A and B are shown apart, each in its own frame.
Chain A
Amino acid sequence: MALGLLGQKLGMTQIFDEKDRCVPVTVVAVGPCFVTQVKTVDRDGYSAIQVGFGEVKERRLSKGEVGHLKAAGHGGLRHLREFRVDNAGDYKVGDEIKADLFAADQMVDVVGKSIGKGFQGMQKRHNAGRGPMAHGSKFHRHPGSIGAGTTPSRVYKGASMPGRMGNERVTVRKLTVVRVDAEKGLLLIKGALPGAEGGLLMVRPAVKVGR
């Protein structure tokens, strides 16, 4: 695992690359992030860096949070997230991490919270098929069978059913960084990213890179 950055999704646009191809990109305003705590194996049982991002008024935070950030030498930071790293000792509290952590053409994983879709049926939520919509059919978008009868005479756990969809943590792996604007703190990442515009994103170097 490696250190990443927190950022805000700004939206999508397109750019033309050096081969004049049109590339769809999502623009992410990343950092500046600040190291607020260093966790070590000796003290915490694991090695990680806690990072804070986004300004917020101190009165919006609890006293505990304000105290924690004061110890790290900061005012209000809206979001705190941890990155598991092997070399936590290389960082110290107060360090600033910026967009230049990443380079163009690098592979990254992006974590975000997907847009909430509310209560959805089987077709949208689990990609189920549907019945005929006409010719006297009354079986339009029903879930259909949810299992056998007398045996096992119960519904297996985990059976897919209609329910709340979206608004959950989503990781999109192996996305390409198209451009890094260190000055403005922008990352241009190829393709779509989870969540609404303005939402919090976690960008970190791709865990699995190969092929």
Chain B
Amino acid sequence: MSRLNAHQILAEVAAGNLRTDRPAMNAGDTVKVFARIVEGGKERIQAYEGVVIKVQGVGISKTVTVRRIFQGVGVERVFPIHSPRIDRIEVLRRGDVRRARIYYLRGLQGKAARIKEKARDPKPAAAKKPEPATV
């Protein structure tokens, strides 16, 4: 036990919480996140639909920031994608953008904030592969 592969062990520790049913997401994708919300002792599922403007972190700590316009106000929510409080995530549309973080979207609205759709879906939702268990 003296020489340990620390990264391997850390990955093993996190592996129990890793969800393999999460689709691969990139900036520009339009996604629908079904989050479990606990309200006064009752649990319900709330859908939140928007554009992924950033994917951050690897392994268990991976998060996506999803932006939508709600009642004329831009709202951004960060979801830890391996959280058990997220029931499921659906990718509705693959966006074609040139940047990994599309912060420029914050300054745009209406027609200007549209995103081109990818000509061919590189990762079809049906044949998604689970991400490798890295930390």
Residues of A near any B CB (own CB < 8 A): 8, 10-16, 20, 22, 25, 27, 29, 32, 54-56, 78, 181, 184-186, 188, 197-198
Residues of B near any A CB (own CB < 8 A): 1-2, 4, 6-7, 9-10, 12-14, 16-17, 36, 59-61, 80, 82-85, 135
Chain B interface mostly helix, strand, loop or mixed? mixed
If the complex has contacts A16-B17, A29-B1, are A11 and B6 also in contact, measured as CB distance less than 8 A?
yes
Of the candidates A8, A11, A14, A181, the one whose C-beta lies within 8 Å of that of B7 is: A11
Chain A interface mostly helix, strand, loop or mixed? strand
A121 to chain B, nearest CB (A): 32
For the A-B complex, the count of residue pairs with Cβ-Cβ distances under 8 Å equals: 58
A55 touches B83 (CB 8 A): no
B79 to chain A, nearest CB (A): 11
Closest residue to A15 on the B side, CB-wise? Answer: B17
B9 touches A27 (CB 8 A): yes
Complex Cα distance A181/B15, Å? 14
A10 touches B10 (CB 8 A): yes
Complex Cα distance A29/B6, Å? 9
If the complex has contacts A10-B10, A27-B9, A186-B13, are A16 and B84 also in contact, measured as CB distance less than 8 A?
yes
Of the candidates B2, B12, B135, the one whose C-beta lies within 8 Å of that of A54 is: B2
B4 touches A8 (CB 8 A): yes
If the complex has contacts A10-B6, A32-B1, are A15 and B84 also in contact, measured as CB distance less than 8 A?
no
Residues of B within 8 A of A11 (CB): 6-7, 10, 135
